[in-house]
Homo-oligomer: A and B are copies of this chain.
Amino acid sequence: MLGLTTRFSFLALCVLQIDEEVAKLLELKAQLGGDDGKHQFVLKTAKGTRDYNPRQMAIREKVFNTIIGCFKRHGAETIDTPVFELKETLTGKYGEDSKLIYDLKDQGGELLSLRYDLTVPFARYLAMNKITNIKRYHIAKVYRRDNPAMTRGRYREFYQCDFDIAGQYDAMIPDAECLKIVHEILSELELGDFCIKMAWADVKKEMVNEKGLSEEVADQIGEYVSMQGGMDLAERLLQDQKLSQSKQACAGLSDIKLLFSYLQLLQVTDKVVFDLSLARGLDYYTGVIYEAVLTQTGVGLGSTEAQQEAHAEDSVSVGSVAGGGRYDGLVGMFDPKGRKVPCVGVSIGIERIFSIMEQKASAEKVRTTEVQVMVVSAQKNLLQERLKLVSDLWNGGVKAEMMYKKNPKLLSQLQHCEEAGIPLVAILGEQELKDGVVKLRVVSTREEFDICRADLLAEIRRRTSEA
């Protein structure tokens, strides 16, 4: 199961070490020359990290809402765990990638590390609280001291977005729901066409990794691995003479058949392919494994680059946007008595989805606030009236704002509405005040109506709920 993944990690580590040596030398150089005693403050975020500006946050919020909406539709609860764990909680879970774990400085007390994913903290949480049944999602940032490639969307601080079902249940039912969730989320996000490739971790181990394979069987492997299909392929392989000699392979293939029958009922077989070439980097998978890829060219990130850039165990495939599988052994690693809690889950590749959504939105105007109406004044000395009106609107639950100036110009107030995409303007002038009305302006059409003050809230609600 290692292979590709391991080699990428090793290369990444080498590059990382060179980078750090260069950084140290540059720092030394800065200290030696040119610095006339004055401390030059470095105004930047830590390497491999970034701020999210309001535009990025607006896109992020939209994506989160879609994904969380799906998780909630499926009845999931949510939990949160601390950003750091005891160092030993993470020890022995990530193989060679452990080198990429951020440790905290020993300032006395416990040795701590930043979480590397959400799966190990989830397993720790289940074991610690003796929970044997839960359907939960967890969206949070994780940390990897990897070689950053920020222009290609790879960061040292990045989001993971996991949905998992833990518990002893009848075969393949929760597994089928995970695939349904991937199907729903990718459809709703409208990222273009996609395909969910599915395999079975143990069948694969049996076929590919088992060392005692005869030469004849080894030759056969290439043939199997290149196969793709649906229920029919699983049936055909079940009747294959060589495979039928392996109990484990038969059990896996039967489960795949059962899974396909559930996927038909859940109406997602149009996108699911049984694909033995699929490999996922983590050793802890014990049953069905899957990965969703975008199939439309030109969407998202480039091909070979995307492959290199993918976090090792998240994916080795091109354009991967979700992945997961069954891991029945992980929780038992944390239980003092080794009690197992079977788990199956899916991780949505949310950082790549953010990148794609940002690219798609690059031409569009993205609103960064939800303001429905701007309170403006047509003449001077109306600050008090504006404050009174905006206060009434806030109290009425309307999203409203005004400029923090005593006497702003009408034009600059209207301009702000155009720029910020605010749909309505409530204009106060001396005439309006005398008449007990507010002039309501529709920004898109530039129409204006005098609205009686008492009817204003209802009118604003009517006009903004239409949109």
Residues on A lying within 8 angstroms of B by beta carbon are 17, 19-20, 23-24, 41-47, 49-54, 57-58, 61, 72-86, 88, 102-110, 112, 114, 124-125, 127-129, 134-136, 141, 143, 145, 157, 165, 167, 169-170, 173-174, 176-177, 180, 184, 262, 265-267, 334, 336, 368-371, 383-384, 387-388, 391, 394-395, 397-401, 404-406
Q: Evaluate contact between A42 and B108: CB separation under 8 angstroms.
A: no
- Please name 27 pairs of A and B residues whose Cβ atoms are closer than 8 Å in the assembled complex, sorted by A: A17-B108, A23-B109, A41-B334, A43-B124, A43-B336, A45-B81, A46-B82, A51-B81, A51-B82, A51-B129, A53-B129, A57-B80, A72-B370, A72-B399, A73-B394, A74-B394, A75-B370, A82-B157, A102-B104, A103-B107, A104-B105, A105-B106, A169-B404, A170-B405, A173-B406, A180-B391, A267-B391
With A42-B88, A104-B104, A107-B145 given, can you name 16 additional A-B contacts, CB distance below 8 Å?
A20-B109, A23-B110, A44-B128, A50-B82, A51-B128, A51-B129, A52-B80, A53-B79, A54-B134, A54-B136, A74-B399, A82-B157, A135-B401, A169-B404, A180-B394, A266-B387
Known A128-B43, A170-B404, A170-B406; judge A265-B384 contact (CB<8 A). Answer: yes
Query: What are the residues of chain B within 8 A of A80 when measuring CB–CB?
Result: 51-52, 57
Residues of A contacting B: mostly: mixed
Known A23-B110, A368-B77; judge A334-B401 contact (CB<8 A). Answer: no
> Shortest distance in angstroms between A196's beta carbon and chain B's nearest beta carbon?
16
Known A51-B125, A124-B43, A394-B184; judge A75-B400 contact (CB<8 A). Answer: yes
Query: What are the residues of chain B within 8 A of A383 when measuring CB–CB?
Result: 173
> Within the oligomer, what is the number of copies of this chain?
2
Most buried by B among A46, A52, A383: A46
Complex CA distance for A102 and B47, rounded to whole angstroms: 18
Chain B residue with Cβ nearest A78: B57
Chain B residue with Cβ nearest A370: B72
Chain B residue with Cβ nearest A136: B54
Most buried by B among A19, A82, A184, A395: A82
> Shortest distance in angstroms between A83's beta carbon and chain B's nearest beta carbon?
6
Query: What are the residues of chain B within 8 A of A20 when measuring CB–CB?
Result: 108-109
The residue that A46 contacts in the complex, of B79, B110, B174, with Cβ under 8 A, is: B110
Complex CA distance for A4 and B203, rounded to whole angstroms: 66
